[in-house]
Amino acid sequence: MSAPISQNTARHFALIPAAGVGARLGGAIPKQYMPLAGKPMLQYALDTFAGNAAIAHTFIVVSAADGYIGDFLATQPQLADKVTVVRHGGETRQESVRNGLLAIRAHIADNDWVLVHDAARPGLNDALLDRLIAALHDDDVGGLLALPIVDTLKRSNASRVLETVPRNGLWAAQTPQMFRYALLQRALDAAQLQGRVGDITDDASAVEMLGLQPKLVEGSPRNFKVTLAHDVALAELFLQGQE
């Protein structure tokens, strides 16, 4: 890709941090490459972004030692002009996001949107992506897909209930999380300088540390994160139903 010379309309770029190994899921290979309903897990998100006309380009942030991404992309010729690999993955997700933003600086303008998405959320589809982009296209802050909490929540002390937590106004964060490039970079840099990286659990939380309020856009149960072994069967049900 080449750096933009001029820009009248903000573009949308996808950034997928995929430097983790998926230790909680287990398996012989990093979970983003594990087969899921007939495809590597990572392929679902890449196909969704590549097939959406609003997405200008997708960047995948992997570790420098990742030995799988080259072979994987060699089997996906349809993605050749739509996906770029960035080998600057960090020890944590947020470090990978921050490194990725720095690495793509030459290809993106401050006002462009960055949609950060978990590789382990294969249930993202066009409808959810379009809903997020439409809801945030003129927003001053940006925002994220999320689901209102419907279950009763308990705070525990080991295996005993300490209290029931009111669920009113509580949402479960999903991805993509969509912010302007300059804002997201500033938020992550500020957290790094303040020594608060450990307080960041997602991209929105870094933006919140600046005193801003990201917008919540209703997501879908299908867009859950595959984390544990039993999540695989549920993800396959959603994906096979899509087919």
Which pLDDT score is estimated for 202?
A: 95
Tokens of 54: 């609003």
Task: Give the pLDDT confidence of 80-89 residue by residue, as tens digits.
Answer: 999 999 999 9
Give residue-wise pLDDT tens across range 44-79: 999 999 999 999 999 999 999 999 999 999 999 999
CATH superfamily of the 12-242 domain:
Spore Coat Polysaccharide Biosynthesis Protein SpsA; Chain A (3.90.550.10)
Strand partners, 84: 59
Average pLDDT over residues 157-162: 92
pLDDT tens digits, residue range 87-122? 999 989 999 999 999 999 999 999 999 999 999 999
- Prediction pTM value: 0.91
How far is the C-alpha of 179 from the C-alpha of 199, rounded, in Å?
19
CA-angle at 186, arms to 209 and 202, nearest 5°: 50
Average pLDDT, the chain: 91
The predicted pLDDT at position 243 comes to 45
As a whole number of angstroms, the distance between CA 39 and CA 79 comes to 15
The structural domains of the chain, with segments of one domain joined by +, span 12-242
pLDDT reading at 2 higher than 50? no
Spatial CB neighbours of 31, under 8 Å, sequence gap ≥ 6: 20, 21, 22, 25, 41, 120, 226
pLDDT at 5 over 50: no
Length of the chain: 243
Mean pLDDT, rounded, for 149-174: 95
Closest CA to 59 of 50, 51, 68: 50
